[in-house]
Structures are given as C-alpha cells and as structure tokens.
Amino acid sequence: MCGIIGAVAQRPVADILIEGLRRLEYRGYDSAGLAVLDSTNRLQRSRAVGKVAMLATKLLETPIDGKTGIAHTRWATHGKPAEMNAHPHVSGTWLGVVHNGIIENYLALREKLGSYGYGFDSETDTEVIAHLVALHLKREGSLLKATLKARQEFKGAYALAILSPEEPNTLVVARQGSPLIIGLGIGENFVGSDIQAMLPVTNRFIYLENGDVAYVGLHKIEIYNEEGELVERPIRESRAKDSASELGEYRHFMLKEIFEQPTAIASTLENRLASGHFLPSIVGQNVMETLAKVEEIQIIACGTSYHAGMVGRYWIESMTDIPCTVEVASEYRYRRQPLRKNMLFVTISQSGETADTLAALEKIKEAKGCLASLSICNVAESSLVRESDMNLMTVAGPEIGVASTKAFTTQLLALQLLLGTLIQAKTGETDASRKLAQDLQLLPILVEQVLELNPVIEKLAEQFIDKHHSLFLGRGAQYPIALEGALKLKEISYIHAEAYPAGELKHGPLALVDSEMPVVAIAPTGLLLEKLKSNLEVVHARGGQLYVFASQNAQMKPDEQTHVIELPAVPEMLAPIVYTIPLQLLAYHVAVLKGTDVDKPRNLAKSVTVE
Ligand code: F6R
C-alpha cells in the first residue's frame, strides 16, 4: 500500500528519497514519484508508472535534485495506475503533497475548490489536499497554519507530507489514521510512513499520533495535536536492523522469511516460559486479575491473521470453558452485536496498521463493550499496539514479502502463549498447561526439520504449474491451515485455490473433483485422522490427484493418484504450526516456476491502511 518518504537536509536528497522508496516497495504499489525544491527554489517533479527503478531511470535521464523533497509509492484507490494519478500532486507552483489513505469527502471538496477556480489534473482524492492547503496558504501565509486549517475539512484517513517554495527547508506533515513517523538527523530531518524507509539515515524516531500536524525543519520540529496545542512526543531509538531488508543468499524475501521461522519462533518464545510455566508478564504487568475475569473471547483480524484467529478458537475452546468467536474485521466493524459480559477482545495483525482491524477495535472501545482489549502484533510502535490495553508481541522481525509467512506462525505461537496464560489465570497451572509449555519448546527444532523437505516440495511444485484450480482440505484446527495454504497459493501463483473442511466436500465441492483437480490434504495424527482418510477415499474414487502432507505415523499409502509427503510426528497442539511450513513452500515454488513477482504479487499490498 502507499508509502511516503521525505527529507529536509543540507545535502541533495534525491538519492535518499529513491532509496527510501525502494525500501517501501514491499508494501505493494503501482507507481512512484518525487518532488524537490531545486537550487533556485522551484518545485520540480518526476513520476513514473511501474517500479521505483523506472523512476530512478527517469531521474538519470532528466536529473532533478534539491535539499528538500518528498516521494511516494502509490497503490491506486481513486483513479487508475497512471502517471497523472501518481504522487506528488501539486497546486500550481504553490506546493506539492504526498498522501497515504483516503479523503472520503473529496468529491464535495473538489466541487468547492472548483468554485474557487481550481482545476484538476488527476482523478485522485489527493489533489484536493494540494489545492485546499494552497488556498489556505495564500490566506494564512504559513504552510503550517494552512495545513492546520485545511485538515479541519478533511474526512477520512491520511498521512501527508507537504513542501512549498514559499517555505524552503520545511516540510509540514499530518497524521490521521495512517501511520507517519519523523526521523531525526543532525541538521537534517526526515519523514516516512515506515521506519524501514529511513533506517539508512537515522535510527531515532518520533511516532506521530492521530490528529497531529508537525512542522519539520532543518533544526526544529514542532508538533501540534488534534486541538492545535503544541505537544511533545517521545523520541524512540529503534533497534530494527537495516539488514532485515537485505536478501542475503535468498532469491526472494518470502523464501528468506520461510527459513527464518525457527529463529522467529525461538525469539517469540524467549523469556515467556519458565519450567512449565507461562510468564504472565508476556501480556503486560498485573494482568492476571483481568484475565481471570474473562468469560468470552472475540478475535478480530483480516486475511492470514484471521486464519491464525480461527486456529486460536479451536485451541482455546479445546482447553478452556471460554467460548471464543472469530470474525473478519471488515464485517465486524459494520455489524451490530449485542454487548457481551467480560469479553476479552483480541485483535491479530502483523502490521498493526490494518484499517479494518483498527476500526473494529475503535468501535468496541467506543461502545465500552469489552473487559479489555489485547493485540497480537509484530510491530511494537504500531497504532494497534498503542490503542490496546494489553499486547502480546510476536518477535518475527520485519516481514517484507507481501505474503505473510513467519508473522503467521508466530501469531499461532502467540495464541498458544495467550492460552497458557489464560489457563493459569483462571485455574492456576494444570497438567495440560504444563504439557503445552513443554511442547512449545520443541517447536523451533520441529520447524527446522520440516524445512528440510524443501527440495521434495520444490519437485512436487512442478505438478501444479499447468493447473488452474486446486482444493485444500483439513479437519479441526487444520481447516484454517488449509485456508491459509490456499490463500498463499492463490495470492502468489494466481492459481485459483479453495479450502474446505474435508467433511464438507460431499455437500457440493466434490462436483469439482476430476483427474485435473489437485487436492491438497493435511493429515497429522489425531482424533480426526480416520475421518479425513474416508474423505480422501471419496476424492480418490473420483479420480482426484491427492497431495497429502501426513504424519509419518498416519500410515497413508501412496499410489499413482496419491502423493504422500511425510512429516515428523508432532504433538497435536503443535501440528497446525508445523504443517503450515510445507504449504508455504509449495506456494512459493509454484509461484517461482510460474515466474510471478513472488514478493510483490499483483494488486496486493503489505500493509492495508485503507478500508
Ligand atoms: C496474506 C496477508 C494478508 C494479511 C492481511 C492482514 O498473505 O498477508 O492477508 O494477513 O492483510 O494484515 P495484518 O496482519 O497486517 O493486519
């Protein structure tokens, strides 16, 4: 999704901006652009459809540079991907703006600005920002005052960075709903929608809050809150490693991140367990009293994180008497629900910036509809973490590939940590909670072992490249894993993939099965194994091609229609995490063979900060 980088410096900034945009590429985008104030203080702009590399080439052919600049990667919402719609947008020679988010009342503002004589060169909502701030700039005489005035008229979500020849060495930025961060240098300062973009130039950051507008100069930063009062925001030093955005020996970030899972899991476990005990501090200080009161759990998330929530529900209800429901945030936020007593509201999000998930949290908080909110999140500085009462951080490290991998498995692990902590809060330590804590220690090594299947799965992937459709089957807590396997395959290889609980096959989807239909099944040992085997018999009898990821103890027999990929025997509670790995590898290798853009699949964005 859209990305912003900006700089006010005493050196040329075009290269810093281009490098920043490269680091934002993982978020997904369709065009890129940059605007600088040149040595004569004129506003110069360059934009290109396609990759940041196209913009960089354009700048080599027709160089522009200056010491104050803003740049953007655009993911089309209003208007097609085209140069005229790419940011920065300008208002004549008055100013340039880059924008993440959506201005919901842009049509009304467009009409109003039209009546003042402003013409529009794009189909975007962003251009109204440029003209409205320019209108106020003419009246107020200062870019900061103009932005403070204009923002009163914007409805929607935005992160903005604005520059103007009227005020050299200045950026004015604003945040409402979309993240925006100021990066602090010495005699220079930066702004970005993501710290990754600024890590080559600084590791000291100020995270703006909703409603903030800030003046960013060479030596001075002033932040005004929603009420227009001058405020201080804390400076945070980031330990995020620049190397996280390097590929190293890997061909794609997705493969790198799949192989980072043993480390990500080990890091997420670190300091959270002690001799069969879940350390309550994992979700915050003095939380046991609150957790002891929980009578219901509502989990809210989107996409892959939603699948994690679905598995969480199976686990929570299998080991406690707490009813748990799971819903996608985009539906929950608009649905009327009766308020429930002593409900723990759990949000799951890799980025912590997903607009629908944040809106669902806001809704429940406004209604005072829960006992407490708890986020499971991978980004400590994110909006979700800041807005939640309690947080359980996954320690997966930055995830660059658009298709979520290590974030998902660490979310599953976090749900188990939450489960163990809940059991302890409600009933004290039990044999089951102790066993869970012990089993969890095995996870990094089990995941390591399953990764050794990589060459086998790479070979297997060849059988999928000419397929147009596929089915994924699982039962119990493996059903959401089947959903996740199907999502991975469709999003990066563009093969249509659907997942079903295997017992549901006979109620319709069986009609799709023939010798052309690959059917992927997940078959660990457990209560439902024999049921699953019967479901697979039915597929076999209709000529379906079966690809079964099975426990070595499952006694699955291969034949000309049945490919069995054996996994080590694992404790039942760990199986969903372990069986995710081969499905990630399968999707990855199919996509590589099909030659798709694995890390940046078409139409998708890493961080979905708009509705
Ligand atoms: C798919 C994927 C998405 C995200 C979803 C929610 O591989 O990554 O489905 O899971 O957009 O994002 P977060 O977890 O950041 O809230």
- CA dihedral for 531, 532, 535, 536, sign (positive or negative): negative
Among the ranges given (97-101, 167-171, 228-232, 238-242), the one the predictor scored with the smallest mean pLDDT: 238-242
Please tell me the predicted confidence (pLDDT) of residue 112.
Answer: 96
For ligand 1, atom 10, which residue shows the shortest CA distance?
304
CA distance linking residue 233 with residue 385, whole number of Å: 16
Of ligand 1's atoms, which has the minimum distance to the CA of residue 304? 10
pLDDT, average across residues 142-160: 93
Nearest CA, atom 16, ligand 1: 349
Relative to the CA of 354, which ligand 1 atom is closest? 16
Instruction: State whether the beta carbon of 330 lies less than 6 angstroms from ligand 1.
Output: no
- What token pair was written down for 273? 């367990």
Confidence bin at 591 (pLDDT 50/70/90): very high
28: Cβ below 6 Å to ligand 1?
no
The answer for 352, left when phi > 0, alpha when psi is -120 to 50, beta otherwise, is left
349 CA distance to ligand 1 middle (Å): 7
Long-range CB contacts for residues 166-170, cutoff 8 Å, separation at least 24: 166/94, 166/95, 166/137, 167/142, 167/143, 168/37, 168/41, 168/68, 169/8, 169/67, 169/68, 169/217, 169/218, 170/8, 170/68, 170/143, 170/215, 170/216, 170/217
Q: What is the pLDDT of residues 210-228, one digit of tens each?
A: 899 999 999 999 999 999 9
State whether residue 376 is helix, strand or coil: strand
Q: Cα of 473 to ligand 1 centre, how many Å?
A: 21
Mutate to test the pocket of ligand 1, among 302, 327, 412 (most ligand atoms within 8 A of CB): 302
Instruction: Tell me how far the alpha carbon of residue 405 lies from the centroid of ligand 1, in angstroms.
Output: 10
pLDDT over threshold 90, residue 54: yes
> Residues 331-343: pLDDT tens digits?
999 998 888 889 9
> Does the beta carbon of 383 sit less than 6 angstroms from any atom of ligand 1?
no
Q: How far is the CA of 262 from the centre of ligand 1 (A)?
A: 21
Q: Work out the pLDDT band at 249, boundaries 50, 70, 90.
A: confident
Q: What distance in Å separates the CA atoms of residue 30 and residue 251, rounded to the nearest whole number?
A: 22
pLDDT at 32: 96
CA–centroid distance, residue 599 to ligand 1 (Å) = 14
Ligand 1 pocket: which of 258, 299, 399, 404 to mutate (most atoms within 8 A of CB):
404
Q: Give 243 Cα–ligand 1 centroid separation in angstroms.
A: 23
C-beta of 303 in contact with ligand 1 (< 6 A): yes
Measure the CA–CA gap between 341 and 295, rounded to whole angstroms: 7
Residue 194 has pLDDT above 90, yes or no: no
Which residue's C-alpha comes closest to atom 7 of ligand 1?
403
pLDDT at 243: 55
Comparing C-alpha atoms, which of 353, 345, 437 is closest to residue 391?
345
More confident residue, 244 or 480: 480
* pLDDT tens-digit map of 406-461: 999 999 999 999 999 999 999 999 999 999 999 999 999 999 999 999 999 999 99
Beta pairing partners, 335: none
Which pLDDT does position 147 carry in this prediction? 97
Q: What is the pLDDT of residue 417?
A: 96
pLDDT at 280: 75
Whether 361 is in the pocket of ligand 1, judged by its Cβ within 6 Å, is no
Ligand 1 within 6 A of CB of 357: yes
pLDDT at 240 (0 to 100): 65
Q: Which of 158-167, 347-356, 526-535 shows the lowest mean pLDDT across its residues?
A: 526-535
Give yes or no for residue 81 having a pLDDT over 70. Answer: yes
Name the pLDDT band for 12 (thresholds 50, 70, 90): very high
Q: Are strands 545-551 and 204-207 parallel, antiparallel or unpaired?
A: unpaired
Confidence grade of residue 272 (pLDDT, cut at 50, 70, 90): confident
Best substitution site from 608, 609, 611 to test ligand 1's pocket, by max atoms within 8 Å of Cβ? 608
Is 160 within 8 Å of 192 (Cβ atoms)?
no
Q: Is 608 in the pocket of ligand 1 (CB under 6 A)?
A: yes
How many C-beta atoms lie closer than 10 Å to residue 389's C-beta?
A: 17
- 384 CA: nearest ligand 1 atom: 16
Atom of ligand 1 nearest to the CA of 301: 16
Average pLDDT over residues 507-511: 90
- pLDDT tier at 244 (50, 70, 90 boundaries)? low
pLDDT 10s digits, 541-571: 889 999 999 999 989 899 999 999 999 999 9
406 CA from centroid of ligand 1 (Å): 12
Nearest CA to ligand 1 atom 5: 303
pLDDT at 177: 76
Residues of the chain above pLDDT 70, percent: 98
For atom 9 of ligand 1, the residue with the nearest CA is 303
> Please, are residues 300 and 335 in contact by the beta-carbon 8 Å criterion?
no
Average pLDDT over residues 282-298: 89
- Res 104: pLDDT: 85
In this predicted structure, the answer to whether residue 281 has a pLDDT above a threshold of 80 is no
Mean pLDDT of 261-273: 88
- Token pair recorded at residue 123: 């189909």
Q: How confident is the model at residue 2 (pLDDT cuts 50, 70, 90)?
A: confident
Query: Could you tell me what percent of the chain has a pLDDT over 90?
Result: 77
Sign of CA dihedral 436, 450, 497, 301: positive
Cis peptide bond prior to 262, omega within 30° of 0: no
Predicted confidence band of residue 241 (pLDDT cuts 50, 70, 90)? low
User: What was the pLDDT predicted at 26?
Assistant: 72
User: Contact at 8 Å (CB) between 174 and 133?
Assistant: no
Of ligand 1's listed atoms, the one at least distance from the Cα of 405 is 7
Question: Confidence class of residue 500 from pLDDT cuts 50, 70 and 90?
Answer: very high
Distance 297 CA to ligand 1 centre (A): 21
Residues catalogued as catalytic? 2, 606
Q: Give the least confident one: 52-61, 243-252, 285-294, 348-357.
A: 243-252
Give the pLDDT of residue 609: 74
pLDDT for the residue numbered 148:
97
